[in-house]
Amino acid sequence: MSRTWPFMMNTVLVKFPEYNSREVRTVFGLYLEFGSHVKFHILHEVQYFHEQAALAMTLPLVRSPLIQLSATVGTAHLAFGMETIYNTSSRQLLMFDAVSSEGRDLKTTHSALGLFRENKGDSLRASYIHYFDHERKVAAAAVIGWTLSSKENAFAVGGSWIMDDLTTIKARFDSRGKLFTVLHHKIKPKSYFTISGEFEPKALDKTPEIRLGLSLVL
């Protein structure tokens, strides 16, 4: 069961799984939307699991539903996936995203490469991550993206360091010239304290932004 309280997102979603077999799972959901009027929807989700493939379809039980379909297939070294949303009333695809990823596990390094096609094929994105140790405590990553319609591109490079079981440090620099840093500290299981900062090296006259965050699970 998953819940999003009304004061956060104005929605409440409750799911009731029914296990028909080891490979097929059926989920019924009750979706409440709070606004000027309270809306009530029933969701029906079918999930199929295989050793090297997975398929999921979500179908709201309304007159003109938006059907969401996602699928993945592959192995531990190479995988392909897609996600789409189909509007039955207009008979149009509202979204179609595709992804392929390749990973390799060597004796001294771990790395993975991902290729993404999003926004109905208008956006292309490639990502690469490299781990420098077997415990995957130190990593570096790079992402580059292209938008075909506007002929714009963007990139970001970053890294992370897991200092111990409680503290993690992350940093990212993007094509807009901004540097982001985050310190993530676990207070207790599922409770965290976060310090984040944003800095523009090319604009030294601007005051860096520093944010504090606290997430507690009682």
Give the least confident one: 99-103, 153-157, 163-167, 193-197: 99-103
Distance between CA atoms of residues 58 and 161, nearest Å: 37
Enumerate the β-bridge partners of residue 74.
79
* Structure confidence by residue, pLDDT tens digits, 109-149: 578 888 888 777 788 889 999 988 888 889 999 999 999 88
DSSP secondary-structure letter at 189? T
First to last CA, the chain: 18
pTM of the model: 0.59
Q: Of the candidates 71, 122, 59, which has an alpha carbon nearest to the alpha carbon of residue 95? A: 122
**What is the number of residues in the chain?**
218
pLDDT digits (tens, 9 = 90+) for 170-196: 999 999 899 999 999 999 888 999 999
The domain limits of the chain are 1-47, 63-156, 163-218
